[in-house]
Structures are given as C-alpha cells and as structure tokens.
Amino acid sequence: MAQMKRTVIVASAMVALTACAPAGYDGANPGAAEPVAVAAAEPTASAEPEASAAAEAPVADAPPANVDLTEQLIGKSVARMGKVVTDQDGWILYRFDKDTADPPASNCVDKCAEVWPPALTDGNPQLTGVSDDKVGSVTRQDGTRQLTVGGWPVYRYIGDKKPGQWKGQAVGGTWFVVQPDGKKNLSCLPKGTPKAVAPPADSGSNDAGGSGYSY
C-alpha cells in the first residue's frame, strides 16, 4: 500500500510540472516533438472588448511589396497560457528582453530576425482586444516599421509550426509571449531554458540544431 501511495504522488508531481507545456514539448530540445496547437482548445476566458480600429502610430512609407504585414492585432485568452496577442492568422506574438520600450527599439536583426520575424506594419493595423493607446510602431534598421505593444516591438517565432502554438515561450530566457498591455506573460513557463531553432537553411547557416543560438 505504501508503495502504491508513493507511485501516485510521483505521478501527480509529473503532471503538475508538465501542465503548462504543450503536448510533446521538451524544453531542452524544442524541435523534438510537435506541440498541440493551443488554439485548438477552448479559451479559458472571453476576449477583451474590441478596441478602435487604428493604432495611433505615424504612417510609414509603403513597405516593399514582398514584405508580409501584420494587418491585425488580436488580444485574447487561450487555454493554459492566458492572455496573448495574435496576428490575423492566429500566430502568437512575442517580446524580447534585449529590446527597449522607452524609447521603443528593436535589437533583433539579421539572423535573429530570421528566427523571430518582426510584426511589420503600414501604420494602420486593425485592433481587437488591444487598446489603441498601447499600440505603436518603431522604425527598424532596414527602414521597415515594426508594431509595438506597450512600447515593446513584437515578433513571431518560426519554431511555431501552427497558429496558436507558443514554443517560443522563455527561449533563451529572453523571449516571452506578449500580453495585450505589452507585459510579458509569465503564467506558463517550460522546464529549463529552451533554445531557439536555427535560422532557415537558405540563410547560410550550417547549424541545423539551433544549439548555438541564444536569441
């Protein structure tokens, strides 16, 4: 009987430790398995009230035609993670601790930006569940304009393979899911410190495992 009790306690502890991580997620090796998309679960709370349709950000010159724009910012709550911001396609957005919010500035460029594509804008995104006074934009080194939430530049993560995934949470100890107020979401952290995936193969990198990347 004592042995059975110890087995139940150990099993319960393991469930508690992994409750936050998507199914199949390994914090030390985020590419080992595909997590289940969080978006497939029922939201734990209703979305925040709809905000006005335009951010009060300076309108930039039109970006190059081949640049993908973030046309919408949607603030909502999802299972396990809680409050998040997504783009129009449901991809969860992140903020980077090595950036600054006051003044807004992005320090993720070159190969970093290949792993963490910036959420670019033409200055007129549609907003739902994100207050327009929290949304702005910042000019990047290449002249494109990137959306900010609460002053923080926001990004996607190429390690997320499906909308609703958040495999970028706590990568390198510096990347976190962004909340609609711009604060980092710390409600669900993986065990250990996940490492970023490698840049795309056509970027010239020979590191297929991503083990050398801290961004």
Q: Which amino acid is at 132?
A: D
Domain for residue 144, yes or no? yes
Domain for residue 213, yes or no? no
Q: How high is the pLDDT of residue 39? A: 37
Residue 49 backbone zone (phi > 0: left; psi -120 to 50: alpha; other: beta): beta
Strands 94-96 and 175-177: antiparallel
Write out the residue range of the structural domain in which residue 105 sits.
2-200
Domain for residue 206, yes or no? no
* Distances 61 to 124, 139, 178 between C-alpha atoms, Å: 12, 11, 27
Q: Is the peptide bond before 103 cis (omega within 30 degrees of 0)?
A: yes
Q: How high is the pLDDT of residue 21? A: 54
Domain for residue 211, yes or no? no
DSSP string, 36-51: PPGGGSPPSSPPPPP-
Residue 76's φ and ψ, nearest 5 degrees, are -160, 180
Domain for residue 210, yes or no? no
Q: How high is the pLDDT of residue 134? A: 98
Q: How high is the pLDDT of residue 93? A: 98
Domain for residue 80, yes or no? yes
Q: How high is the pLDDT of residue 192? A: 93
| CB within 8 Å of 1: residues ≥ 6 apart | none
Residue 203's φ and ψ, nearest 5 degrees, are -85, -5
pTM score of the predicted model: 0.71
Coil vs helix vs strand at 149: strand
pLDDT along the chain (215 residues), means of 10: 46 46 45 39 39 41 64 96 97 98 97 97 96 97 97 98 97 98 96 94 50 53
Domain for residue 207, yes or no? no
Domain for residue 160, yes or no? yes
Q: How high is the pLDDT of residue 194? A: 96
Number of structural domains in the chain: 1
The b-or-e profile of 65-79 (16+ CB within 10 A means b, else e) is eeeebbeebbbbbbe
